[in-house]
Copies of this chain bind each other. A is one copy, B any other.
Amino acid sequence: MTKNCNHNLCKSSALLAAEKICEQLGARFTQHRRRVFEIVWQSHKAMSAADIMIEMDNKQPPITYRALDFLKSAGLIHHITSLNAYIGCMHAKNPDHVGQLLICTKCNNVAELEPKEAVKELIEQAKQQGFSTQITHIEMLGTCNECE
């Protein structure tokens, strides 16, 4: 998926999905937002805000951070907290999904799974402790099959 995708196709279908989602939200998919989205979707590698700014036309940090915040809260990208970096979300259409991010520490590629059962179990175990879960972050660092 991550590796053997026809990435032009992959990216343009993500773009279409993003446009649709913005429309549904009544938000505008403006120049900056589109540009940041395209940069993040350039590859399946995690990109830091700094990486993104290098490619931005307008280098002023607030522009980039605002776009990232928007895309994140619209569910179009993920913030990888353990790297402080961003990656396009593969399941943006699916509103309440919880991604499991598989991050290759060698090539920096990120894949995403939707491990529904296991996550339910985690949430259930938390509940048994009286904890009511709102947001779940699952990030796994390791090596992908190409980098073994």
Look across to chain B and name the residue whose beta carbon is closest to the beta carbon of A136: B140
Chain A 80-105 interface mask (CB, 8 Å, partner B; 1/0):
01101000000000000000101011
Query: Are B140 and A135 touching (Cβ within 8 A)?
Result: yes
- Taking the complex as formed, is A132 at the interface, i.e. its CB lies under 8 A from any CB of chain B? yes
- Taking the complex as formed, is A115 at the interface, i.e. its CB lies under 8 A from any CB of chain B? yes
Each complex incorporates copies of this chain amounting to 2
Residues of B within 8 A of A144 (CB): 130-131
A122 contact from B125, B135, B140, Cβ within 8 A: B140
> CA–CA, A84 to B123, complex, Å?
22
Least CB distance from A29 to B in Å reads: 27
A121 contact from B82, B117, B143, Cβ within 8 A: B117
> CA–CA, A105 to B140, complex, Å?
23
What are 9 residue pairs bridging A and B, where the CB atoms are less than 8 Å apart in the complex? A115-B121, A115-B122, A118-B122, A121-B121, A131-B143, A132-B143, A136-B139, A137-B140, A137-B141
- Residues of A that sit less than 8 Å from B by CB: 81-82, 84, 100, 102, 104-105, 111, 113, 115, 117-119, 121-123, 125-126, 129-145, 148
Q: A100-B126, A137-B138 are in contact. List 14 more A-B contacts (CB 8 A).
A: A81-B82, A82-B137, A102-B129, A102-B131, A102-B133, A111-B129, A113-B129, A118-B125, A122-B138, A126-B142, A129-B145, A131-B144, A134-B143, A137-B139
